[in-house]
A = this chain, B = another copy of it.
Amino acid sequence: MLTLASDFGSPYPAAMRGVIHEMTEDATLVDITHDLPRQDVRTAAFWLKELLPWFPRAVHCCVVDPGVGTDRHAVVVLADGHALVGPDNGLLAPVARCLGTDPEWYRITEIGPASSTFHGRDVFAPWAARVHEAGIGAVPDMPDLRPLHEPVDLQFPTPEVSSTHAAGEVLVIDDFGNLITNIPGDYLAERMGDPVTVNGKAVPTGRAYAAVSPEQRLVTVGSHGNVELAVNQGRGDEAFDLGVGESVLIE
């Protein structure tokens, strides 16, 4: 199985699908999404970490690549039997750590003939197909790969959690407008059902969005396991007036 994720929208991903089908014929090819926020490596890294672990072992071709055509490396990463193929710009670091404790990084030493503007089609898709055809276990012995000892890292900020409060920030806003924070959902477990304050204002807590009336704000635990600021059947980003990176203090 191969998966594809990118910020290419439409229609460019079709060329990647074509290249992969041309090289693998019978492979199952699954789109993760091609609507990752444009050239936003950090948000894309969050979503890859949330989504890829649900898949069986596969070759995952992931491209959010503002440095396409520059000298940033192209990499193949092995993590717990999965293979990740993409640019070395931090995009793959969180998901690699999440999949396996000791990911192995390889840089691609020979990208072959390629445009300077669409390595998704010209480098990453063909390499994903090559890894798929060789088998993930064969990656350490593939030609044109060298161990990469210092891949570009990307870390999400650590929240400060005590018995009385949790101080974190908004990591990502999803398509529904839910504000996904970096505060672990466990913090809310013993307070569930009681109101808390968010940046000084009282907000109810609830396990389900429908724990409050439509259009009402709530603090819940999202499907990613983190504290989420939301509005039942509405947009949390507007109601809480917070953006990515802004501070969230829950007391």
Contacts and interface: CB of A to CB of B under 8 A. Distances in A.
B22 A233 contact: no
A208 B68 contact: yes
Contacts of A210: 66-70
A13 B51 CA distance: 9
A9, A116, A222, most chain B CB atoms within 10 A: A116
A10 interface: yes
Interface in A2-54: 3, 5, 8-15, 17-19, 21-22, 25-26, 28-33, 35-36, 38-39, 47, 50-54
Contacts of A28: 21, 26
Interface string A208-225: 111100000000111101
A54 B18 contact: yes
A187 interface: no
A240 to B, nearest CB: 17
A148 B26 CA distance: 34
A56 B11 contact: no
B175 A10 contact: yes
Contacts of A53: 18
A11 B30 contact: no
Given A56-B22, A121-B223, A68 B11 contact: no
Contacts of A8: 175
Contacts of A1: 21
Given A5-B11, A66-B210, 6 more contacts: A8-B175, A10-B35, A18-B56, A115-B222, A117-B220, A117-B222
26 contacts: A1-B21, A3-B14, A5-B11, A5-B14, A8-B175, A9-B175, A11-B47, A12-B175, A13-B33, A14-B32, A15-B51, A17-B30, A17-B32, A18-B51, A21-B30, A21-B55, A21-B56, A22-B54, A22-B56, A38-B233, A39-B233, A67-B208, A70-B208, A70-B211, A116-B207, A116-B208
Interface of A: 1, 3, 5, 8-15, 17-19, 21-22, 25-26, 28-33, 35-36, 38-39, 47, 50-56, 66-70, 115-118, 121-122, 174-176, 207-211, 220-223, 225, 228, 233
